[in-house]
Amino acid sequence: QKEVEQDPGPLSVPEGAIVSLNCTYSNSAFQYFMWYRQYSRKGPELLMYTYSSGNKEDGRFTAQVDKSSKYISLFIRDSQPSDSATYLCATMNAGNMLTFGGGTRLMVKP
Amino acid sequence: SQTIHQWPATLVQPVGSPLSLECTVEGTSNPNLYWYRQAAGRGLQLLFYSVGIGQISSEVPQNLSASRPQDRQFILSSKKLLLSDSGFYLCAWSATAAVTDTQYFGPGTRLTVL
pLDDT tens digit sequence for A19-76: 999 999 998 888 889 999 999 888 999 999 888 778 899 999 999 999 889 999 999 9
Positive or negative: CA dihedral B20, B106, A86, A81? negative
Please report the number of interchain residue pairs, chain A to chain B, with beta-carbon separation below 8 angstroms. Answer: 49
Pairing of strands A85-92, A98-100: antiparallel
Residue B41 has pLDDT above 70, yes or no: no
Asked whether the beta carbons of residue B59 and residue A8 sit closer than 8 angstroms, the reply is no
Q: For all residues of chain B together, what is the average pLDDT?
A: 91
Nearest to A88 among B43, B59, B102 (CB): B43
Nearest to B90 among A4, A43, A101 (CB): A43
What pLDDT does residue B79 have? 95
How far apart are alpha carbons A19 and B108 in whole angstroms? 27
How far apart are alpha carbons B98 and B114 in whole angstroms? 39
The reply to whether B110 touches chain A by the CB within 8 Å rule is yes
The arithmetic mean of pLDDT across residues A93-99, rounded, is 75
How far apart are alpha carbons A103 and A10 in whole angstroms? 10
What pLDDT does residue A51 have? 82
Percentage of chain B beyond pLDDT 70 is: 95
- Give residue A84's pLDDT band: very low, low, confident or very high (50, 70, 90): very high
B54-109 tens-digit pLDDT: 999 888 767 899 999 999 999 999 999 999 999 999 999 998 766 667 788 999 99
- Give residue A94's pLDDT band: very low, low, confident or very high (50, 70, 90): low
What pLDDT does residue A1 have? 65
Higher pLDDT, A31 or B52: B52
What pLDDT does residue A7 have? 86
Q: For all residues of chain A together, what is the average pLDDT?
A: 90
Chain B contact set for A3 (CB, 8 A)? none
- Minimal Cα–Cα distance from A34 to chain B, Å? 10
Higher pLDDT, A8 or A72: A72
What pLDDT does residue B47 have? 93
Residue B5: CB atoms within 10 Å = 13
What pLDDT does residue B14 have? 97
What pLDDT does residue B99 have? 61
Nearest to B42 among A49, A90, A102 (CB): A102
Asked whether the beta carbons of residue B102 and residue A46 sit closer than 8 angstroms, the reply is yes
Pairing of strands B109-113, B10-13: parallel
- Give residue B40's pLDDT band: very low, low, confident or very high (50, 70, 90): confident
CB-based contacts of B79: which residues, under 8 Å, 6+ apart?
A: B18, B63
Specify whether the CB–CB gap between A92 and A98 falls below 8 A.
Answer: yes
What pLDDT does residue B101 have? 72
